[in-house]
Amino acid sequence: MPEQPPHDSEGAVAGTGMGGAMDLAASEATTLERAPGGPEGPGGPEGPGGREDAEGAGPAAGRPRSLWSDAWRDLRRNPVFLVSALVILFLVVIAAWPSLIASGNPLTCDLARAQDGPAPGHPFGFDGQGCDVYTRTVYGARASVTVGVCATLGVALLGSVLGGLAGFFGGTWDGFLSRITDIFFAIPVVLGGLVLLSVVTSNTVWPVVGFIVLLGWPQISRIARGSVITAKQHDYVQAARALGASNSRILLRHIAPNAVAPVIVVATIALGTYIALEATLSYLGVGLKPPSVSWGIDISAASPYIRNAPHALLWPAGALAITVLAFIMLGDAVRDALDPKLR
């Protein structure tokens, strides 16, 4: 077999610069050392075509494993996953029951204390309206996390289903879908929000979520389409087809696990921008309206006073940053766990 030029090797293989075979051989040798019966191994005398490759009998195989069970085992031991999962769990809990850690009312404000710094009982200080920043930050989690998570889930589901199917089946539908995504890409987000959301009177987060999903899915759909097309060209898809596998089996068993990584990465990064987009829309008066509380509303409200009262901006912005970081880290950990090569 020709040696691969080192520049071609990707990912895990790149380390040696020697091409894949060497790295594969590396893992082989690990097992070779563990083999009972010394380095000669049991396969020696059986001759050609025998079990000469099978020298490295690994530890006894227990239950059959699958990608998902292995991924879960891997995640449980990954500190990045544990930290980000704990942060997200905490966010979910305070989004559901903010009163657990904040006793005040986010809407009780005292203009006399506007822009004041931290005081006893008010560790984060006060914002421009004299409201307690700590309480508002805690209560703001609900709207922001709901918008971020729901919009991301909606975008990821809609985008990857439509993009994945288009990439898999190709043809007329693919062409049609591609033109539709082009049209959606051409809609300016803020202007679209002003027009579409101004006709909505509901004061919940759902119109905002719906609007983000509507404008966000083409991005994921493009990525999903591309990675499905890449995965589709691999021989293992042909192999499954030759076995008589149905389209749904090929899509779910073979293509989806191999195409999902870029979707996860882009979706988790997009989550942050969706929370920020909610803030922008709220600032323009078409997103959430007071008395709703959200980080976006607070950040935009505090931004004019950044010189006098930076704390009013920094706390909600910090909360937003931690949330986004936690989701990105979670996405990274999940993506790595789904790649057996990185274990």
Partner 1 sequence: MAEPVLEVEGLVKHYPLTRGVLFRKQIGSVKAVDGVDFTLGRGETLGIVGESGCGKSTVAKLLCHLERPTAGAIRYRGEDITKLSGKALKAVRRNIQMVFQDPYTSLNPRMTVGDIVGEPYEIHPEAAPKGDRRRRVRELLDVVGLDPEYVNRYPHQFSGGQRQRIGIARGLALRPEIIVADEPVSALDVSVQAQVINLMDRLQAEFELSYVFIAHDLSIVRHISDRVAVMYLGRIVETGTDTEIYDHPTHPYTQALLSAVPVPDPDARERRERIILSGDVPSPADIPSGCRFRTRCFKARERCALEVPALAVPAEFRYATGPAVHDSACLFAEELRVVPAEEHGNGPG
Partner 2 sequence: MLLEVRDLRVEFRTREGVAHAVNGVTYQVDAGETLAVLGESGSGKSVTAQAVMGILDMPPGRITGGEILFRGQDLLKLKEDERRRIRGAEMAMIFQDALSALNPVLTVGDQLAEMFVVHRGTSRKDARARAVELMDRVRIPAAAQRVRDYPHQFSGGMRQRIMIAMALALEPALVIADEPTTALDVTVQAQVMDLLAELRREYRMGLVLITHDLGVVADVADRIAVMYAGRIVESAPVHDLYKAPAHPYTRGLLDSIPRLDLKGRELYAIKGLPPSLTRIPPGCAFHPRCPMARDVCRTDPPPLYEVDQRRGSACHFWRECLDG
Q: Is 40 in the site for partner 2 (CB under 8 A)?
A: yes
Q: Is 164 in the site for partner 2 (CB under 8 A)?
A: no
**Are residues 293 and 137 in contact, defined by beta-carbon separation less than 8 angstroms?**
no
* Residue 318 C-alpha from the chain's centroid: 19
Q: Is 188 in the site for partner 2 (CB under 8 A)?
A: no
Residue 24: CB minimum distance to partner 1, A: 5
Backbone φ/ψ region at 255: left (φ over 0), alpha (ψ -120 to 50), beta: alpha
Q: Is 29 in the site for partner 2 (CB under 8 A)?
A: yes
Buried b (16+ CB within 10 A) or exposed e, 115-137: bbeeeeebebbbbbbebbbbbbb
Cβ proximity to partner 1, 199 vs 235, nearer residue? 235
Q: Which two tokens stand for residue 167?
A: 């990439």
Residue 239: CB minimum distance to partner 2, A: 24
**DSSP secondary structure code for residue 49 in this structure:** T
User: Which value, to the nearest 10 degrees, does the dihedral of the CA atoms of residues 28, 33, 38, 39 take?
Assistant: 50
Q: Is 27 in the site for partner 2 (CB under 8 A)?
A: yes
Task: Give the separation between CA 340 and CA 343, rounded to whole angstroms.
Answer: 5
Task: Give the separation between CA 314 and CA 306, rounded to whole angstroms.
Answer: 9
- Which of 37, 42, 48, 257 touches partner 2 (CB under 8 A)? 48
Residue 289: CB minimum distance to partner 2, A: 53
Task: Give the separation between CA 248 and CA 256, rounded to whole angstroms.
Answer: 10
Write 249-254 long-range contacts (CB < 8 A, 24+).
Answer: 251/164, 251/168
Q: Which two tokens stand for residue 236?
A: 């293992």
Q: Is 252 in the site for partner 2 (CB under 8 A)?
A: no
Q: Is 26 in the site for partner 2 (CB under 8 A)?
A: yes
Tell me the window of 20-28, 169-177, 227-235, 283-291 that interacts with partner 2 (CB under 8 A).
20-28
Give the one entry of partner 1, partner 2, none that residue 41 binds, where binding means its C-beta sits below a cut-off of 5 to 8 angstroms depending on kind: partner 2
Residues in 49-108 that interact with partner 2 by CB under 8 A = 49-50, 52-53, 55
Cβ proximity to partner 1, 42 vs 192, nearer residue? 42
Task: Give the separation between CA 297 and CA 35, rounded to whole angstroms.
Answer: 63
Q: Residue 261 burial (CB < 10 Å; 0-12/13-18/19+)? A: middle
Q: Which residues bind partner 1 (CB under 8 A)?
A: 1, 12, 20-21, 24-25, 27-28, 48-54, 56-62, 64-67, 70, 234-236, 238-246, 249, 253-254, 257-258, 338-341, 343
Q: Is 339 in the site for partner 2 (CB under 8 A)?
A: no
Cβ proximity to partner 1, 113 vs 253, nearer residue? 253
Q: Is 33 in the site for partner 2 (CB under 8 A)?
A: yes
Q: Is 41 in the site for partner 2 (CB under 8 A)?
A: yes
Give the one entry of partner 1, partner 2, none that residue 306 binds, where binding means its C-beta sits below a cut-off of 5 to 8 angstroms depending on kind: none
Q: Is 7 in the site for partner 2 (CB under 8 A)?
A: yes
Query: Where does this chain bind partner 2 (CB under 8 A)?
Result: 1-7, 12, 14-19, 21-23, 25-30, 32-33, 39-41, 43-44, 47-50, 52-53, 55
